Amino acid sequence: MKLHFFSVYSIIIRSMKKVKAILTIFFHSFVPQEIYFPKLLHTRLQFSFKYYLLIVSFLACIFSGILLYHFSPGKVSDYKNAILDTISTFPIDSEIKISKGTLTSNQNKPLFLWVYYKNSPFFAFMVDTKSMLDTTYIRLPFIFFGSNQMQFSYKGYSSTRLYDSSLDGPISKDTILSIISYVNNGFSTFLIGFYFILLIIIPFVFIVTSTLFILLSSGMVYILLRTFIPHIHFKKCLQAGAHGTHIPLIISILLYSLFPIVANTLIVTFSLIFIFTLVATYEMYSGSFAHSRGR
């Protein structure tokens, strides 16, 4: 029993020492600085690679937690009910038809649909025979169905898409009721797919994208600095990127959470990763150019 106790105790102590070492490296790497980064010239790439995988995986788990908080099963179910309740109010005498890429309506006025989630209104849909909205006088809906295209708008992001010419059929109250029935029947399957994407695919894409950005930034930094630092090594630029880009990765998680579909988020993320990789590489070699050949 004593032997078993001391074995468990020693495992706990070793684990605590490893956690302490990782935290020490994390805090020293958080802001690129001369006091720590020159040491990476004598650190093996394999060590930095393992450290990076640990950190980026931990950040991906945090990202998953944020996504799960925003889209918990209860919230998704409430969103679904709010949307279905809204579209169920579709006027019984209204009929919309899309034929050969053109939308027509039997109403001589626009059709508005607002989703009310916990008493907060959200401008979800608008149907009008105009081709585009005059945004000077009207708030943009989430989806606008115009005469020959639909316009998608969300948090400053906007895109348009023409109707498929193969679409040919009316949308009436009966169509809406059949859609509601279909959504209710397939909602469980939808949730499984939705959470697989949310908790597995998106964090995996975050890890892959971050890694590619660091690889690309390290290559650009290597090409940029080799003129000024002839003894620079690409693998050391890579280590600088692996250790020195914690802040950009954290900022990217916040940006993806707030603006998930804005293309500029990728540009900002890559720019920050490049800048921090450049600064980290400079700090690595600024201590002593004599240590020009890392292991």
Give tens-digit pLDDT for 81-91: 887 887 777 77
Average pLDDT score over residue span 235-249 = 91
**pLDDT (tens digit per residue) in 183-236:** 788 888 888 888 898 889 989 999 999 999 999 999 999 999 888 888 888 999
Rank 113-127, 155-169, 241-255 by mean pLDDT and report only the highest.
241-255
Cα distances (angstroms) measured from residue 129 to each of 1, 38, 98, 113, 185: 81, 65, 11, 16, 32
Task: Give the residue with greater pLDDT, 277 vs 82.
Answer: 277
Q: How many CB atoms lie within 10 A of CB 218?
A: 26
**pLDDT (tens digit per residue) in 139-184:** 677 778 777 778 777 766 777 777 777 767 777 777 777 877 887 8
Task: Give the residue with greater pLDDT, 244 vs 30.
Answer: 244
- Separation CA 236–CA 245 (nearest Å): 14
Residue 10: per-residue pLDDT? 55
Instruction: Examine the domain organization and report whether 240 and 135 are in the same domain.
Output: no
> Quick one: tokens of 71?
């889209």
> Quick one: tokens of 38?
């020159």
The span from the first CA to the last CA of the chain, in angstroms, equals: 45
Instruction: Examine the domain organization and report whether 198 and 165 are in the same domain.
Output: no
- Structure confidence at residue 53 as a pLDDT band (50, 70, 90): very high
Instruction: Examine the domain organization and report whether 278 and 211 are in the same domain.
Output: yes
- Separation CA 160–CA 150 (nearest Å): 6
Average pLDDT score over residue span 21-50 = 77
Q: What is the maximum span of the chain, computed from C-alpha positions, in angstroms?
A: 86
Instruction: Examine the domain organization and report whether 136 and 186 are in the same domain.
Output: no
Instruction: Examine the domain organization and report whether 204 and 294 are in the same domain.
Output: yes
283: burial class by Cβ within 10 Å (0-12, 13-18, 19+)? Answer: buried
- Separation CA 130–CA 147 (nearest Å): 5
| Number of domains into which the chain is organized | 2
166: burial class by Cβ within 10 Å (0-12, 13-18, 19+)? Answer: exposed
| Range(s) of the domain holding residue 99 | 95-171
Residue 175: per-residue pLDDT? 76
DSSP at 123: E
25-34, 119-128, 188-197, 217-226: least confident range: 25-34
What is the CA angle 67-68-73, rounded to 5? 130
19 found inside a domain: no
Q: How many CA atoms lie within 13 A of 114 on its CB side?
A: 8
Quote the percentage of the chain above a pLDDT of 70: 80
Bridge partners of residue 145, in order along the sequence: 127, 150
> Quick one: tokens of 276?
């921090």
Instruction: Examine the domain organization and report whether 247 and 164 are in the same domain.
Output: no
What is the CA angle 36-252-66, rounded to 5? 110
Instruction: Examine the domain organization and report whether 211 and 81 are in the same domain.
Output: yes
Residue 226: per-residue pLDDT? 86
Instruction: Examine the domain organization and report whether 216 and 139 are in the same domain.
Output: no
Under 8 Å between Cβ of 206 and 250: no
Instruction: Examine the domain organization and report whether 191 and 61 are in the same domain.
Output: yes
Instruction: Examine the domain organization and report whether 201 and 121 are in the same domain.
Output: no
